[in-house]
């Protein structure tokens, strides 16, 4: 056995989006399959947000919460709760263990697909994604089906669509772009949108409270928020265009800009006008940035969600002018949630909480193995998961099962660690054990790994700093909203548990297409009828 390892613990601000929004009248029940299917994912949207602020919604969230089929107990049914794995489940109907997208760091990075008009050397594509999505099923039935997917994040724009090629756009370098996986040049309408200077016009803008201060119950003086700096309102954007482009992702207006691009894309591509179904996917990323900086109990996250509600309502009204409401079906969801900042949990709630990391274990073990065998074994730690090139280990005579068991024994001593699995112990753990269930749905059989770990409530995976983190197996990390809205879909709340993988088969039934492979999700009868 190896030696004991070391212990490591707004306003629309000049944007063209929705200023001229027109409210469409209520339409009769849906006459057959919809002309447009719209996925709206709010990054880091906790399940409890819709109900927590229900009395203050006036726009899009109010419409979903009041008029849709709301599943009050919905979740991303897997461990490693990050943006890439979560988005890979929404329109595929399959868990990360079957999509192959298990971590942000092993998601869409692809040097062979550089970004257009960018010196970014990383590039992005869905080449790691395995299997099909709703858009593939739509194309199989109708080769003329159109798709538009937009987000601030590359992985959030790419993964709901899978490997299919279409108009897939994300924000990089101060403008919306795509990679050479999808196109050699940007569509003219995207270039025109970028040229309007919406980003530059935000220079010097101030993010202050949308409502009177009395509307916010949260204190505005938590010194552990935002890394201990600029943690009270108002927050000001930089005064130069270049600086705004670098920092806009952390301010509410990024979501307004994303919705503006989506609306312009629907108009330019005439989505929903063919008489046969098209697909629109929108992922709004700023809630994630604000949540990481300020936490889910902050005044900033409250104000951010009020702004998304307002802008989303105007977007729905503007979209209804282009595509009748009775010909549109929406689903609202999230890719993951987040726990409270550990500092908030300890100082305000007086609960046990903290930050833990496995990076030191992985790096120490890698160093010992490299010193012995003079080669690398790619050990790394991410979200409680220590991965390695197990084939290389076995090729050099290492007993991988014993190595994993020794590492697991060390990690079990870390304060905040709950359950630790090796490949051998996970294989025999009962599926009724919640964390084993979640890890099985996260880990593909093709991945090499040594241990996967679940943290105790209140503890989160972190490599330092005051940023709030997700990625664990707590209910706060896994639980998300799922709401279907459209003509013929009843307004009601459903108490039973459903999963993000149930979205795609349900939409497929509404659209009238057939999945081309076995799915992990099921059709939700509360939405489509018995």
Give the DSSP per-residue string, 340-397: PPHHHHHHTS----EEE--HHHHHHHHHHHHHHHSS----EEETTEEE--HHHHHHTT
**Domain carrying residue 57:** 36-173+254-338+474-528
The residues near 142 (Cβ < 8 Å, ≥ 6 apart) are 276, 277
Q: Are residues 277 and 151 in the same domain?
A: yes
CA distance 34 to 509: 11
324 and 262 co-located in one domain: yes
Asked if residue 453 and residue 382 are part of one domain, the reply reads yes
The burial of 430, by beta-carbon neighbours within 10 Å (0-12 exposed, 13-18 middle, 19 or more buried), is given as exposed
Residue 3: inside a domain: no
What CATH number should be reported for the domain holding residue 58? 3.40.720.10
Domain boundary among 432, 461, 490: 461
Which H helix or E strand runs over 157? helix 154-158
Burial of 355 by CB count in 10 Å (0-12 exposed, 13-18 middle, 19+ buried)?
buried
**Same domain, yes or no: 309 and 414:** no
- The tens-digit pLDDT sequence of the chain (530 residues) is 344 333 322 333 333 344 333 333 343 455 578 999 999 999 999 999 999 999 999 999 999 999 999 999 999 999 999 999 999 999 999 999 999 999 999 999 999 999 998 767 789 999 999 999 999 999 999 999 999 999 999 999 999 999 999 999 999 989 999 999 999 999 999 999 999 988 888 988 999 999 999 999 999 989 999 999 999 999 998 888 888 888 999 999 999 999 999 999 999 999 999 999 999 999 999 999 999 999 999 999 999 999 999 999 999 999 999 999 999 999 999 999 999 999 999 999 999 999 999 999 999 999 999 999 999 999 999 999 999 999 999 999 999 999 999 999 999 999 999 999 999 999 999 989 999 999 999 999 889 999 999 999 999 999 888 899 999 999 999 999 999 999 999 999 999 999 999 999 999 999 999 999 999 999 999 999 87
Q: Is the dihedral of CA 501, 502, 505, 510 positive or negative?
A: negative
Total structural domains within the chain: 2
Q: What per-residue confidence (pLDDT) applies to 67?
A: 98
Q: So what's the pLDDT on residue 119?
A: 67
Q: How far apart are CA 267 and CA 16, in angstroms?
A: 13
DSSP-derived letter for residue 28 is P
Task: Assess if residue 453 is contained within a domain.
Answer: yes
Give the CATH number for residue 402: 3.30.1360.150
Round to whole Å and give the CA distance between 121 and 305.
Answer: 34
What is the CB neighbour count within 10 angstroms for residue 425? 17
- Looking at the fold, whether 457 and 478 belong to one and the same domain comes out as no
Whether residue 210 is contained in a domain is answered as no
Question: Which tokens in the block code for residue 104?
Answer: 């942000």
Q: What are the Cα distances from residue 268, in Å, to 144, 271, 299, 322, 389? A: 16, 8, 37, 11, 47
17 belongs to a structural domain: no
Whether 246 maps to a domain, the answer reads no
What is the reported pLDDT for 33? 83
> Do both 304 and 382 map to the same domain?
no
Residue 350 buriedness (CB in 10 A; 0-12 / 13-18 / 19+): exposed
Residue 504 lies in a domain: yes
Which two structure tokens, joined as six digits, stand for 467?
């940023």
User: Rounded distance, CA 34 to CA 46, Å?
Assistant: 28
- 148 and 280 Cβ atoms separated by less than 8 Å: yes
Would 184 be classed as within a structural domain? no
Confidence at residue 31, expressed as pLDDT on a 0 to 100 scale:
57
Strands (E), 376-468: 380-382, 385-387, 417-421, 449-455, 459-461
- 309: tokens are 């509600």
One domain, residues 301 and 438: no
The residue among 438, 461, 484 that closes a domain is: 461
What pLDDT was estimated at residue 28? 45
Q: Are residues 61 and 160 in the same domain?
A: yes
Please give the pLDDT value at position 29: 55
Tokens of 487: 């003509």
Task: Choose the final residue of a domain: 417, 440, 461.
Answer: 461
Whether 307 and 165 map to the same domain: the answer is yes
Same domain assignment for residues 364 and 449: yes
Pair 415, 313 in one domain:
no
162 and 276: one domain? yes
């Amino acid at each position: 056995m190896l030696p004991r390892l070391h212990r490591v613990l707004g306003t629309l601000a000049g944007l063209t989006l929705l200023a001229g929004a027109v409210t469409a009248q209520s339409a009769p029940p849906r006459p057959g399959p919809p002309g447009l299917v719209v996925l709206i994912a709010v990054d880091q949207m906790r399940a409890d947000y819709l109900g927590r602020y229900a009395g203050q919604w006036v726009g899009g969230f109010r419409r979903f919460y009041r008029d849709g089929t709301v599943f009050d107990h919905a979740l991303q049914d897997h461990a490693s709760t990050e943006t890439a794995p979560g988005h890979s489940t929404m329109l595929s109907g399959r868990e990360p263990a079957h999509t192959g997208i298990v971590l942000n760091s092993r998601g869409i990075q692809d040097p062979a697909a550089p970004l257009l008009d960018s010196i970014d050397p990383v590039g992005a594509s869905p080449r790691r994604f395995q299997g099909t999505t709703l858009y593939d099923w739509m194309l199989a039935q109708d080769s003329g089906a159109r798709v538009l997917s937009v987000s601030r994040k590359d992985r959030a724009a790419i993964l709901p669509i899978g490997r299919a090629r279409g108009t897939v756009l994300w924000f990089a370098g101060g403008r919306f772009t795509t990679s050479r996986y999808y196109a050699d040049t940007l569509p003219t309408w995207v270039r025109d949108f970028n040229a309007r200077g919406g980003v530059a016009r935000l220079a010097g803008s101030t993010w202050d409270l949308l409502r009177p201060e009395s509307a916010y119950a949260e204190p505005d003086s938590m010194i552990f928020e935002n890394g201990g700096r600029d943690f009270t309102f108002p927050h000001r954007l930089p005064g130069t265009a270049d600086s705004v482009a670098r920092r806009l992702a952390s301010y509410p207006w990024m979501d307004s800009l994303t919705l503006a691009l989506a609306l312009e894309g629907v108009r330019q591509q005439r989505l929903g006008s063919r008489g046969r179904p098209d697909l629109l996917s929108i992922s709004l990323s700023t809630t994630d940035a604000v949540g990481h900086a300020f936490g889910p109990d902050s005044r900033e996250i409250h104000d951010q969600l009020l702004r998304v509600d307002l802008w989303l309502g105007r977007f729905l009204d503007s979209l209804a002018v282009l595509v009748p409401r009775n010909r549109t079906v929406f689903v609202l969801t999230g890719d993951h949630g987040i726990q409270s900042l550990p500092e908030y949990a300890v100082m305000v709630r007086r609960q046990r909480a903290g930050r833990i990391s496995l990076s030191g274990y992985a790096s120490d073990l890698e160093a010992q193995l490299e010193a012995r065998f003079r080669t690398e074994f790619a050990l790394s730690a991410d979200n409680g998961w220590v991965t390695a090139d197990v084939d290389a280990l076995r090729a050099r005579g290492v007993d991988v099962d014993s190595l994993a068991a020794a590492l697991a024994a060390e990690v079990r001593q870390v304060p905040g660690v709950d359950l630790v699995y090796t490949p051998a112990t996970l294989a025999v753990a009962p599926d009724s054990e919640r964390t084993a269930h979640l890890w099985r749905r996260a880990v593909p059989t093709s991945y090499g790994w040594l241990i996967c770990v679940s943290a105790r409530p209140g503890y989160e995976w972190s490599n330092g700093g005051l940023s709030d983190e997700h990625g664990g197996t707590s209910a706060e990390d896994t639980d998300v909203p799922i709401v279907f809205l459209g003509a013929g879909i009843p307004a009601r709340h459903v108490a039973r548990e459903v999963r993000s993988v149930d979205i795609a088969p349900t939409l497929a039934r509404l659209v009238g297409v057939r999945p081309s492979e076995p799915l992990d999700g099921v059709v939700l009868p509360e939405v489509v009828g018995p």
